[in-house]
Structure 1
């Protein structure tokens, strides 16, 4: 069973609508608060050779990316560190602080424990006006499908293309772009941390329409053969770009570099070049 299957189990205990987005949505006066939590482990999430500073940066960036995907401005980040060696703590905390400072958040606390494997849980809070909140649900036939940045760079680095190592180890959450897209009125949005194909299927699960992309339009990692680059862009994880749908009348959105890769269709399916796109990407799985 994979993590999406376990999400369905959680949906029998918690209102499934609460689980449909990158962040929980909580009314907060005249604004909406968004809240998210991410857990990262050394053996599965931190590539070999990362510095402790980069580990702290990445642990924070993945959470800020979730906040950005809702169109929200980041507020506070808390970091719970299951620490294997105490001398690592300073670098981790400084990396987390620097990521917060770069993207307009504040590192405000967390928890600390001894652990046999370095494990970090980052929790992020953000705020947005209700009219600018963007959810995964809301795509409409005729919308364009677009992405920020380049896809497949993190996976390219893991595949030995060292020119993309910085993108792997120091991801840049699209905080500014997410807020601009929310104000512009995009109809649906999420981040692409688990790969484009899987993200499109995640959108399919909560919308009453489908998604058709043209792989010739994908922004591919430089220095990678085209066929391999296309596979990395479709199925590779760790990019933390934004995938969004928008009425064609508002695209391009001023201030956001993004590329149209397809359109929303009436049929509830995910297509690439007219053929069904495999539901595949970065997934935590359990045997048995």
Structure 2
């Protein structure tokens, strides 16, 4: 009897985890932990591997920067202020450690966090786990749940730049290798009163479906309004903007009246609707983007 092969992706596994722990714990970019005096601790952890996450040509400094930036981006998506970062490094060659740690330290310093420790081990493949902590007033935290029909849908910057670099547009190489978490923007948007927010690490389309999964409403975007990567033909740029990963911009929903928000570049790309669907130009948007998958 032949064994059936089944493809499993990370979001399917998240659903399984939700049968073991409270599924509401899995809804956001960070875990949320009360810490007294009306404040909340947010915590996030990310694992990156050399073969799947670090493009050829990256310096060790850039690897340390990226490993830290992706975690700070999660903290930014909750409207929180970064605090501490811990880095666990599965190291293939000891001479790489200094550059990695200096990159992580410099990223922390740039965005108001502190590198405070971690762990070190020998690995056949360079593997880094970054853990970040931040704090936010309970009244100002922004979650993925909270979007309401009539809200605008917006992003904080161009989409598809990281993927553009991977397909040969070298002008976007720095955006791919040295992502800039939108920490300042996340805190400003939280203070302004946005209703829902997340970062776009896996692509806009998948992120909209993530919002759909936790909200009782739908999302309709106008692809003519997407901020596209510079120097890329329009049709290709729109494809990259919808489905490319690695951007780390913020995707948020908000009452139209709160815009503009001082100091934040905002690109309005659509509207929250009552029907629980994800639409692009009035048609169902393909659920596609960056996903870790396992073959059966």
TM-score computed with the length of structure 1 as normaliser: 1.00
- For 1:258 and 1:74, how far apart are their aligned partners in 2? 22
Q: Which residue in the other structure is 1:153 paired with?
A: 161
Deviations along 1:12-53, one digit per CA (max 9) or x if unpaired, are 001000000000000011210000000000000000000000
What secondary structure does 1:36 align onto?
strand
Pairing partner for 1:32 from 28, 37, 40: 40
What secondary structure does 1:132 align onto?
coil
Pairing partner for 2:246 from 221, 231, 238: 238
CA shift, 1:236, in A, is 0.2
- For 2:259 and 2:78, how far apart are their aligned partners in 1? 18
User: Structure 1: any 5+ residue segments left out of the alignment?
Assistant: none
- Corresponding position: 1:203 with 2:236: no
Q: Which residue in the other structure is 1:10 paired with?
A: 17
- For 2:259 and 2:275, how far apart are their aligned partners in 1? 23
Pairing partner for 1:19 from 21, 26, 33: 26
Q: Which residue in the other structure is 1:61 paired with?
A: 69
Cα RMSD, aligned residues only: 0.4
CA shift, 1:251, in A, is 1.4
- Corresponding position: 1:267 with 2:275: yes
- For 2:61 and 2:191, how far apart are their aligned partners in 1? 33
CA shift, 1:253, in A, is 1.3
TM-score computed with the length of structure 2 as normaliser: 0.97
- For 1:14 and 1:137, how far apart are their aligned partners in 2? 18
Pairing partner for 1:104 from 88, 97, 112: 112
User: Structure 2: any 5+ residue segments left out of the alignment?
Assistant: 1-7
Structure 1 stretches of 4+ moved >4 Å: none
How many equivalent pairs are there?
288
What secondary structure does 1:194 align onto?
coil
- For 2:94 and 2:263, how far apart are their aligned partners in 1? 43
CA shift, 1:254, in A, is 1.5
Deviations along 1:121-174, one digit per CA (max 9) or x if unpaired, are 000000000111000000000000000011000000000000000000000000
